[in-house]
């Protein structure tokens, strides 16, 4: 669905606190300590996928996401894994240490369940938000889903004048007038506001603050390498 079809498999200079945005960032290292980048590389190497390092980003040597899918399916077939598609899970239940997944026409038994249903973030088939309902029914608490990794729509009517411009800069997020976080990189100026990777990195904080009724604003430094007196 994303990534130009190259399949980014990992990152060499990975840092959970820096590379992930979370309302509970202190638990991330605990999760990622269980399976690190070196484990990812070893796993795919054993399946026959050699990785290519591009500035710290790891891709299959073929640069084709399809080759990763093919090898995973081959390994699943070798291990006699049954793959069932186009089945809507209506209920998940646990009894006597075993799981049951109930569909419209069948029930599947298993020792474990991995719930990876996606969200309503994009129009990918099956991403209907039902995963939240299933998780909630199992007793999990749901942090209200809000937009993240998105552009920011700004209030005003003059943005058409800068639409289409890309430029290096620093964008700073202010909540209730106080600076909270800033990011640097290539900014994309649009007819509705501002986009680009730095804005994507800030967007979850903006969305959460807006949801809480806070005043949110942005400051842009188009010449971050100059001090004010130099400018």
Whether the pLDDT of residue 181 is over 90: the answer is yes
Q: List all residues 6 or more positions away from 86 whose beta carbon is below 8 Å from its beta carbon.
A: none
- Mean pLDDT for the chain overall: 89
The pLDDT assigned to 175 comes to: 97
Quote the CA–CA distance of 32 and 36 in Å, as a whole number. Answer: 6
- pLDDT value at position 125? 66
For 112-153, what is each residue's pLDDT tens digit? 999 888 777 777 766 778 888 899 999 999 888 888 889 999
The better pLDDT of the pair 182, 12 is held by 182
Running DSSP on this structure, what letter comes out for residue 103?
Answer: -
* pLDDT of 2 over the 70 cut: no
Rounded average pLDDT over 183-203: 95
Tens of pLDDT, residue by residue over 167-176, are 999 999 999 9
Averaged pLDDT for residues 93-120:
90
Q: What is the DSSP string of 25-90?
A: GGGHHHHHTTS-HHHHHHHHHHHT--EEEETTEEEETT--HHHHHHHHHHHHHHTT-----S----
Measure the CA–CA gap between 92 and 101, rounded to whole angstroms.
5
Distance in angstroms (rounded) separating the CA atoms of residues 129 and 132 = 6
For 43-76, the pLDDT digits (tens) are 999 999 999 998 888 999 998 999 999 999 999 9
């Amino acid at each position: 669905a994303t990534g130009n079809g190259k399949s980014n498999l990992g990152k060499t200079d990975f840092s959970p606190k820096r590379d992930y945005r979370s309302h509970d960032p202190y638990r991330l290292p605990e999760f990622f300590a269980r399976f690190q980048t070196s484990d990812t590389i070893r796993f795919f190497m054993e399946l026959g996928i050699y990785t290519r390092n591009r500035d710290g980003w790891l891709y299959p040597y073929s640069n084709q996401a399809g080759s990763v899918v093919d090898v995973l399916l081959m390994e699943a077939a070798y291990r006699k894994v049954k793959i069932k598609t186009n089945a809507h899970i209506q209920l998940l239940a646990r009894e006597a240490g075993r799981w049951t997944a109930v569909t419209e026409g069948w029930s599947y038994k298993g020792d474990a369940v991995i719930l990876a249903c996606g969200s309503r973030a994009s129009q990918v088939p099956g991403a209907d938000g039902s995963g939240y309902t299933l998780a909630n029914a199992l007793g999990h608490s749901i942090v209200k889903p809000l937009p993240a990794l998105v552009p920011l729509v700004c209030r005003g009517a003059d943005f058409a004048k800068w639409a289409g411009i890309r430029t290096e800069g620093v964008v700073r997020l202010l909540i209730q007038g106080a600076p909270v976080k800033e990011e640097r990189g290539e900014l994309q100026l649009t007819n509705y506001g501002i986009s680009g990777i730095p804005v994507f990195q800030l967007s979850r904080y903006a969305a959460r603050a807006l949801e809480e009724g806070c005043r949110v604003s942005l400051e842009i430094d188009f010449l971050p390498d100059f001090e004010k007196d130099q400018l």
